Amino acid sequence: MTTIDLGLAAEPLTLADAKAWARIERDDEDALIADLIRAGREAIEGETGLSLVARSFRLSLDPAPCDGWVEATRRPLVSVDAVTAYDASGNPAVFTPQDAIVERPVGLDGFRLAGSVVAAAANGVEIEFSAGFAAGACPAGLLLALKAIVAASYEARALVEPGLQPALRPAIAERLLAPYRRVRI
């Protein structure tokens, strides 16, 4: 199972908001702060399975599940945009988005693939879907955690290479993220 992010229009936290939170008045490190916002968002999304900003993803599965049930790798799930199954020769068969019904049993976000999709997917299936919080709808706790991570990462910028950020996770960020973590039994 592979999830590909098809693009982000804007970060959930603006550069101005991050700088105001961290009390940064200079402009010469704006590119670094923008990178810290991106890294912090990616860390939160990877840990929680949430998409802080609504956008499109492509989920590739090989093999397709026999029962047709696929748990979404990003949530909150908004819609299914396209479904493509690949036959034994690798030829694509395009199905309508209605052939992958959005389901939310017991608090999970997922897709139920139609039997025709499962039957046609000898070489796997790709589902393009939209997930994430609408603009301005990201929970305040997640944004506050992102601000705290960005501020701590900025303070540690001389200690840790930019590619290894976010290196510090303030205790407040850990507490704010705790309710959003997926717990598996």
Asked if residue 38 and residue 25 are part of one domain, the reply reads yes
> 162 pLDDT exceeds 80?
no
Asked if residue 124 and residue 63 are part of one domain, the reply reads yes
**pLDDT confidence band for 185 (50 / 70 / 90):** low
Asked if residue 61 and residue 108 are part of one domain, the reply reads yes
- Number of separate domains in the chain: 2
Query: Taking Cα atoms as reference points, which of 86, 91, 93, 95 lies closest to residue 122?
Result: 86
Query: pLDDT value at position 88?
Result: 94
In a domain, 26, yes or no: yes
Asked if residue 70 and residue 32 are part of one domain, the reply reads no
Instruction: Judge if pTM exceeds 0.85.
Output: yes
Asked if residue 63 and residue 41 are part of one domain, the reply reads no
> 134 pLDDT exceeds 70?
yes
**Domain with 145 in it:** 13-51+136-180
Q: What is the mean predicted confidence (pLDDT) over 134-154?
A: 95
44 Cβ contact list (under 8 Å, min separation 6): 50, 52, 142, 145, 146, 149, 177
Query: pLDDT value at position 94?
Result: 96
Q: Looking at the DSSP assignment, which residues form a beta bridge with residue 128?
A: 58, 82
Question: Which residue among 95, 110, 131 closes a domain?
Answer: 131
Asked if residue 101 and residue 41 are part of one domain, the reply reads no
3 state DSSP class of 9 = coil
